[in-house]
Chains A and B, each alone.
Chain A
Amino acid sequence: MSAPAPPPVIAMRGIRKEYGQADSRVVALAGVDLVVLRGEYVAIIGPSGSGKSTLMNIIGCLDRPSAGTYALDGEEASALPDHRLANVRNRKIGFIFQNFNLLSRANALENVELPLRYRGLSARERRRLALQSLDRVGLANRVTHRPNELSGGQRQRVAIARALVTQPALLLADEPTGALDRRTGREIITLFDELHAAGSTIVVVTHDPEVAAYTRRRVSLVDGAVVEDGPVPRAEAAG
């Protein structure tokens, strides 16, 4: 009576990433297996140099693994040519960066519209979806402001609106509170919580225990390998 289960959002097997040649070879990822199901809220944590940035780039289809297989939302993504990867990023992934990465010349609305431009939507449709998305992050009254006219928290909200506007399979955040003060960081975490509650699949790459504490599952990376993968204790999540 149950419908066939949807494919996992992330399905990784034996992902390796190596840089350089022969004796100067650096192994960034030494065989990572990771499955993230739809609706999960996952933190990937680890000290610097643990390979979490490399893993994030591969999850985000910005980079290709040296070996292993990766299916994103049921679509094989480990060996696609560059233009296909760009297409996958556009449809499946919403990025949220530590330093927001907004176009400084464009206002909030134009920034949020950007992914839709590369999707080839009409101006009217772009505008409708972008306004909807900005409204969702509480910035309906800031659409014509440029990034330098917005506070750090507002900028990150614009970035989140941009990530949401394509209704991606995965929200991929890289230290989303790293450039924010504590209070604003909390607001962003709260927003993530709301998005999670509304059904979004979220992966946060962070070294901040507080951010990780709000997720439901924690994946620890050391030296390019997963050393711990389990639910976040509720006590931690509460406090």
Chain B
Amino acid sequence: MILKIRKRDEPWKWGALVIFLGALLFSLGVSALLLAGQGKDALHGLNILWQGSFGNLWALEGALLKAIPLFLCSLGVAVAFRMQIWNIGAEGQFALGAIGATWMALSFPDLPGYFLMPLMFIMAFVLGGIWAFIPAVLKLKLRVNEIISTLMLNYIAILLLDYMVFGVWKDPTSFGFPMTPEFTSGAVIQGIGGSRVHWGLLFCAVVGIGLWAFMRFTRLGYELKASGEGVRVARYAKIRYGMLVMFVMCLSGGFSGWAGCIETSAVLGRLQPSLMVGYGYTAIVVAWLARLEPLNIAFGSFLLAALRVGVENLQLELQIPAAFGVIMEGMILLVVLAGQFFLMYRLERVTRTKGE
């Protein structure tokens, strides 16, 4: 008996879900081995991970809290990936959004919230958008590879953020710690009904539904989807490809910028380097796992946010390095990529019979 690769006549219907769950299980298995390798009780460790992620209300709240910036960044990444524009720069665009929001919060501390907050959101979108617009223009005008330019801009953005909080914006009363002064109350997004989860969650829902409607019902959204098939298809359909790339990148960067704004305002209440925890990179994992669909992205953000919370718990209880979560993210994505083979192909048993 030998196995032969056959192309499927139609894609495997529930395959994506099966592959994802398989990848999750596989990654958990390898993670358990890693824990055992560190001399920890692996099963106990996985239990702590589970308890920390989904075990109680506090954990779920934490997951929801982390899902907010992840969702916005992933949405941004997904919009660009849809057009086969590889925007790896969500991390930098997130940082620029945070810088934009802080700029407004520190410049107009006395404005009431209903004036200041829109200003912060606008500036976060503009700066995040500009940070994505630069690679878009470089790509269109000079054919500079956007993967590398967006990535380099991540490094530059984080250093820019450092520069601001170590110098220009440093709080004189912070005893030398690199952080800005605390935001005034008008610049802080409040929690919903006394919980840790804040109004940014509602904002996410509005943006998510807005994007879905935009893609579904507008001509521009349709063109965007069509351009995902490639430049040539877009040209054939008389779509202004260049304009669309710039538009999509600005949107993409703007979404990540919003995430930076919300995280700075609602969670930290000031700008400081600890803001940058790699949401922009996790967002890429989420976007791809979710197959770039907004609703899946919502679930995916929550799931990977929960994983992050669980790993924090593991860090606290068993002194496991935080990088444990990053390993799992990378591994899940790798296995899913490998598994996607089975969406298009299947292995068929070929039995040789006599006379053949």
Co-complex (A, B):
no
